[in-house]
């Protein structure tokens, strides 16, 4: 029996499969629900439509120095990984976002130069692991004045689309997946793709700015019940960690959506909420993709997913452009120039004392050119 239906482009109707049951013990409760969101996609929507409506507009913002996050949530088997990762023939948001980013860089190449880097990690049993450079050691979270940082995370700088796709494929192959009764390819971890874009104007100026934008694309593991997944042993431990981190996320959403703004937001209950701190209430444009199943078996999970998504609508973030002003470093360049001039003067003195006139002139030119290359990064 289908219990969810996309009534319109913005409205979702959730029908209680047991609504007609009345055992005479208590008055019958009508648990049918309707929710309104920015978009409501049914099973006929394509990957391209979902990307265009949810993520496409964020790409230009990221390239121009703003932060953005897109994360998929919902019960196990509801389609989160398909939306975010997709397949070889029908790629998801991760591939499409990177492809669109390269398109934008090409379109604006006359005015700006770009450098992009990407990192891919998973949170498995509350342990962070690098998916592009997997090893025996786990990564540590550290906090500084710039926010939460992942120490030791490998960042790769791809220069072509093919390199990006190969890196994503490698990372997805390293991700932890196991079969459960609810999903044969169940993701047992939260996967986080981090893309950093640096934009520099081709018009050189003393007041040169470097804009730094970050895009986080997150495929959350699915919430699950042991009674439905039939998990035992290791799978049950994984499920407990998944549910605990998702509960911490739900608690943060509840606190942030409180209209009185008086509730304490505890981000430290899980590494997931620490990683998502900026996405939830910081300097970031954030899109939440709530996934539900139309099957009546998942009615309770669908209720929870839509309730959290409905609360998340009221959360406000404060977005600002991330700019590094080269003026901050001019004093460093002045000191370096003075040091190099002193060094060149000493070398010239030594040359005058030890070389013939012709050799002296040649070596002086070489030393001078070498110092210029060191200073300006040429050669």
Residue 292: other Cβ atoms inside 10 A? 23
Q: Is 65 annotated among the ligand-binding residues?
A: no
**Are the C-beta atoms of 309 and 15 separated by less than 8 Å?**
no
Q: Taken in order 153, 291, 302, 78, is the CA torsion positive or negative?
A: negative
Q: How far is CA 56 from CA 48, 94, 97, 133, 220, in A?
A: 10, 11, 7, 29, 20
Nearest to 292 by CA among 15, 8, 9: 15
Q: Is 81 annotated among the ligand-binding residues?
A: yes
Q: Which residues contact 146 (CB under 8 A, 6 or more apart)?
A: none
Q: Is 279 annotated among the ligand-binding residues?
A: no
Q: Is 80 annotated among the ligand-binding residues?
A: yes
**Are the C-beta atoms of 213 and 106 separated by less than 8 Å?**
no
DSSP-based three-state secondary structure for 199: strand
* Euclidean distance between CA atoms 205 and 203, whole angstroms: 6
Nearest to 120 by CA among 166, 161, 86: 166
Q: Is 83 annotated among the ligand-binding residues?
A: no
Nearest to 58 by CA among 209, 197, 223, 191: 197
* Euclidean distance between CA atoms 183 and 222, whole angstroms: 10
Q: Is 358 annotated among the ligand-binding residues?
A: no
Tokens at residue 328, please?
A: 């901050």
User: Beta strands 285-291 and 68-74: pairing type?
Assistant: parallel
Q: Is 97 annotated among the ligand-binding residues?
A: no
Q: Is 75 annotated among the ligand-binding residues?
A: yes
Binding-site members are 74-81
Binding-site members for ATP are 74-81
């Amino acid at each position: 029996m289908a219990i969810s239906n996309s009534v319109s482009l913005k409205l979702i109707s959730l029908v209680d499969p047991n609504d007609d049951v009345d055992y005479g013990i208590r008055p019958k409760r009508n648990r049918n629900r309707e929710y309104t969101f920015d978009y409501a996609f049914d099973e006929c929507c394509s990957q391209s439509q979902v990307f265009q409506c949810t993520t496409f507009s964020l790409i230009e913002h990221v390239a121009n120095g703003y932060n953005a996050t897109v994360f998929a949530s919902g019960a196990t088997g509801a389609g989160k990984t398909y939306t975010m990762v997709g397949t070889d023939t029908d790629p998801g948001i991760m591939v499409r976002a990177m492809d669109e980013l390269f398109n934008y860089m090409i379109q604006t190449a006359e005015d700006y130069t770009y450098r992009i880097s990407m990192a891919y990690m998973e949170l498995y049993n509350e342990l962070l692991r690098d998916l592009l450079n997997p090893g025996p050691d786990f990564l540590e979270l550290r906090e500084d004045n710039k926010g939460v940082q992942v120490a030791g995370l490998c960042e790769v700088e791809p220069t072509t689309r093919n390199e990006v796709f190969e890196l994503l494929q490698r990372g997805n192959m390293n991700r932890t997946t196991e079969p459960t009764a609810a999903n044969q390819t169940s993701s047992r971890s939260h996967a986080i793709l981090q893309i950093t874009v640096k934009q520099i104007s081709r018009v050189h100026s003393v007041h040169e700015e470097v804009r730094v934008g970050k895009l986080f694309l997150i495929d959350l593991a699915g919430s699950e019940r042991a009674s439905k997944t039939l998990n035992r042993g290791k799978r049950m431990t994984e499920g407990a960690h998944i549910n605990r981190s998702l509960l911490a996320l739900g608690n943060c959403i509840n606190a942030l959506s409180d209209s009185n703004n008086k509730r304490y937001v505890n981000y430290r209950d899980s590494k997931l909420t620490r990683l998502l701190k900026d996405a939830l209430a910081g300097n970031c444009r954030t899109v939440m993709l709530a996934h539900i199943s139309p099957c009546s078996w998942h009615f309770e999970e669908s209720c929870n997913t839509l309730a959290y998504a409905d609360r998340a609508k009221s959360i406000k973030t404060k977005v600002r452009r991330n700019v590094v002003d080269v003026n901050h470093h001019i004093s460093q360049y002045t000191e370096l120039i003075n040091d190099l001039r002193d060094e060149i003067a000493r070398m010239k003195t030594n040359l005058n004392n030890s070389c013939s006139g012709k050799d002296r002139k040649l070596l002086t030119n070489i030393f001078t050119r070498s110092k210029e290359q060191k200073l300006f990064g040429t050669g």
